[in-house]
């Protein structure tokens, strides 16, 4: 790679006039895993992974485990124990080499790290060869305390699948203060975070979501991917019960005067009760969150 950004991200940066800021931050995207990144990753009990399934749909999925379940085994490799549950929409994709984006997010410290590369099955679970590793600022990240893990582990409930959101799922989306978004582009896959006060995601109907893209670090990796490939996957997590809501569909950036929004069209829905054994506290909202109308 001759630049940290592909043509999609460069186009968004040029449109918004932030090329200089983006170029300034580009050296923070590393091809390897530095010791501070390795230490942060090993302390985390969860990892979000984004990729494309064999049918072409893009999903974001949650992996959990005791700290150390995801750990660097070298300057360019990460080992993840266990892998995804057999019923996860990305389980089949990870039985062979696949481009993945990951984000390790720690609500306790309001820190996050992204690592993109290629995942392969291993005897331990997954082995990820890192190609891009970088941290993001704590903007829009809610602080939560980890109460612990459900000793029973992830529930055995059967996931509920559909092609549109139910009324209960719409209510969960409207109440959310955090979600994760997976996208794909010329350089591979990426997983990122979006946060705000409850109501920052507008559910305009059972298949239509809209959220404002708040000012960030000027990289525009997510919006850059959407410039080249509209497929996207969203993951909403009920932090207290462990239920996950995974959505796959297509997204488009909408520019309105000085603001920009992302419109997401739902194609597939998978809700899994108690998918995560982790139990988190109610949030302390980020002071950076804009007021929601």
| Residue-wise DSSP of the chain | --SSS-HHHHHHHHHHT-HHHHHHHGGG-BSS--HHHHHHHHT-SEEEEEEE-TTS-EEEEEEE-STTSEEEEETTEEEEES---TTSTTTTGGGS-EEEEEEEEETTTTEEEEEEEEEEE-SSEEEEEEEEEEEE--TT--B--EEEE-TT-S--PPPEEESS--HHHHHHHHH-SEEEEEEEETTEEEEEEEE-STTSEEEEETTEEEEE-----S--HHHHHHHH--EEEEEEE-TTT--EEEEEEEEEEEEETTEEEEEEEEEEEEEETT---EEEPPPB--TTPPPP-
Radius of gyration of the chain (CA): 18
User: For 92-121, what is each residue's pLDDT tens digit?
Assistant: 999 999 999 999 999 999 999 999 999 999
Q: What's the mean pLDDT in 221-229? A: 97
**Residue 166 pLDDT:** 97
Asked whether 248 and 233 are in contact (CB, 8 A), the reply is yes
Average pLDDT across the chain, whole number: 95
Mean pLDDT, range 146-174, rounded to an integer? 87
CA angle 213, 245, 133 (to 5 degrees): 55
**d(C-alpha 205, C-alpha 188), whole Å:** 31
Q: Across residues 182-191, what is the average pLDDT?
A: 96
The residue that leads in pLDDT, 66 or 151, is 66
Q: For 251-280, what is each residue's pLDDT tens digit?
A: 999 999 889 999 999 999 999 999 999 999
Q: Using 50, 70 and 90 to split pLDDT, how confident is the model at 230?
A: very high
- CB count in 10 Å sphere of residue 213: 17
pLDDT of 133 > 80? The answer is yes
What local confidence, expressed as pLDDT, does residue 265 receive? 98
Evaluate if residue 149 carries a pLDDT over 60. yes
Pick the CATH number of 7-280 from 3.40.50.20, 3.30.60.50, 1.10.760.10, 2.30.110.10: 2.30.110.10
* Distance between CA atoms of residues 20 and 10, nearest Å: 11
User: The dihedral of CA 271, 273, 276, 280: what is its sign?
Assistant: positive
**Neighbouring-strand partners of residue 121:** 126
What pLDDT was estimated at residue 156?
65
Say how many Å lie between the first and final Cα of the chain, rounded: 42
Residue 229: is its pLDDT beyond 80? yes
Q: Output the pLDDT for position 152.
A: 63
> Percentage of the chain with pLDDT > 90?
90
The pLDDT assigned to 292 comes to 78
């Amino acid at each position: 790679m001759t630049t940290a950004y592909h043509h999609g991200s460069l186009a968004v940066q040029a449109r918004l006039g932030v090329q200089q800021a983006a170029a300034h931050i580009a050296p923070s995207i590393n091809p390897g895993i530095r010791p501070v990144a390795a230490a942060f990753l090993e302390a985390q009990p969860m990892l979000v992974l984004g990729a494309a399934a064999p049918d072409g749909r893009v999903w974001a999925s949650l992996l959990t485990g005791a700290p150390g379940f995801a750990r660097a085994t070298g300057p360019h490799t990460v080992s993840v124990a266990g892998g995804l549950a057999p019923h996860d929409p990305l389980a089949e994709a990870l039985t062979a080499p696949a481009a993945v984006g990951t984000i390790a997010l720690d609500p306790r410290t309001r820190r996050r790290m992204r690592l993109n590369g290629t995942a392969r099955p291993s005897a331990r679970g997954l082995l990820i060869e890192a190609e891009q590793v970088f941290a993001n600022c704590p903007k829009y990240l809610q602080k939560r305390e980890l109460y612990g893990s459900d000793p029973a582990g992830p529930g055995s409930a059967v996931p509920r699948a559909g092609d549109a959101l139910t009324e209960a799922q719409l209510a969960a989306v409207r109440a959310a203060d955090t979600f994760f978004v997976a996208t794909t582009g010329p350089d591979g896959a990426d997983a990122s975070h979006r946060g705000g006060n409850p109501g920052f995601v507008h559910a305009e109907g059972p298949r239509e979501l809209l959220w404002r893209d708040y000012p960030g670090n000027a990289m525009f990796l997510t919006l850059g991917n959407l410039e080249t490939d509209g497929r996207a996957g969203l993951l909403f997590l009920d932090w207290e019960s462990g239920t996950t809501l995974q959505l796959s569909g297509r997204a488009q950036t909408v520019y309105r005067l000085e603001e920009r929004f992302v419109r997401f069209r739902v194609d597939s829905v998978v809700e899994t009760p108690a998918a995560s054994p982790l139990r988190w506290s109610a949030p302390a909202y980020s002071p950076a969150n804009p007021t929601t109308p």
